[in-house]
Amino acid sequence: MPRREAAAKRYAQAILAIAENDGTLDRWATDLATLHALTAEPTVGDFLTSSKIEESRKHEVIEQGMAGADPKAISLAKLLVRKNRIGIVDQIAESFGELLNVERGIAIGRVTTAVPMTDEGRSSVIEAIRRSTGATEVQLEEIVDRNVLGGAVIQIGDHIVDGSVRSRLSGLRRTIAGSLS
């Protein structure tokens, strides 16, 4: 995944502030998903990012594609077209979703293990994520990857805790190589 632009997070923060003020958090989540789906359609995305198309025609497409959306969301889409930022809608929607989860006390975690986790292991990871984030709810995505060898790699947002055997062996190799030099 390409690195997220700082502008996407700033837009998402501004949207969150507006949505909190208006009491429209869920509406904004839906409207951003609609805008993201619209721009993800290759023909529409190319049309909206083309420098050869007049802005007024792009606005017409946005109004048609977002019919029924909150006028503020449509205005945002038009602003993004005007500022040549429509290409970061996916990042804005993702950032908004993350901020909304934080607002609601939800932590999203991904755990990668060599074998499927037991119920006890899953509960332990969920509790550790809950303690470290202060979240009231944890949604856990479990991935089985035989390359991990053992242990687990846990990711929460941009934070990664690598407790895998593979990582420990790699560290041990570096230590031994360093002491032989």
Q: Could you give all domains of the chain from N- to C-terminal order, each with its CATH number?
A: 6-101 (1.10.520.20), 106-180 (no CATH)
Q: What is the Cα–Cα distance from 59 to 128, expressed in whole angstroms?
A: 47
Predicted pLDDT of residue 1: 43
Whether the pLDDT of residue 67 is over 90: the answer is yes
Cβ atoms of 143 and 110 closer than 8 Å: yes
The separation between the first and the last C-alpha atoms of the chain, rounded to the nearest angstrom, is 37
* pLDDT at residue number 3: 60
At 83, the pLDDT band (50, 70, 90 cuts) reads very high
What mean pLDDT comes out for the span 155-167?
75
Q: Are the C-beta atoms of 151 and 164 separated by less than 8 Å?
A: yes
- Report percent pLDDT > 70 for the chain: 92
